[in-house]
Amino acid sequence: DAMVIQNPRYQVTQFGKPVTLSCSQTLNHNVMYWYQQKSSQAPKLLFHYYDKDFNNEADTPDNFQSRRPNTSFCFLDIRSPGLGDAAMYLCATSRAGEVTGELFFGEGSRLTVL
């Protein structure tokens, strides 16, 4: 059974039209992450939530926002998508303090910008 669920799996939007991607988890993990992965590149961390505390990476554009209304859900909002924002967006979760520190990834949401 999927433990980290991302929706939608595929999203097509127009240049400048806002997009929201969602992530839900059944693991009761307290840390949730959003990664951006462009074609043929490594995943790049955009931001993460440690419980309710939001942690933004220094180089994450202002165009990207996130919300975590409760433990189970996290959203990625792209306010005005540009062609350069086309990518796979990966949500991941972990439990802080766990020995392995392992991240559990969702299936990803692939964003196309026309």
Which positions touch another protein (CB under 8 A)? 33, 40-45, 48, 55, 88, 90, 92, 99-108, 110
Question: Is the Cβ of residue 17 or residue 52 nearer to another protein in the bound state?
Answer: 52
Q: Residue 84 CB, nearest distance to another protein (Å)?
A: 19
b/e string for 44-75 if b means 16 or more Cβ within 10 A?
ebbbbbeeeeeeeeeebeeebbbebeebbebb
Question: Is the Cβ of residue 63 or residue 107 nearer to another protein in the bound state?
Answer: 107
β-bridge mates for residue 7, sequence order: 22
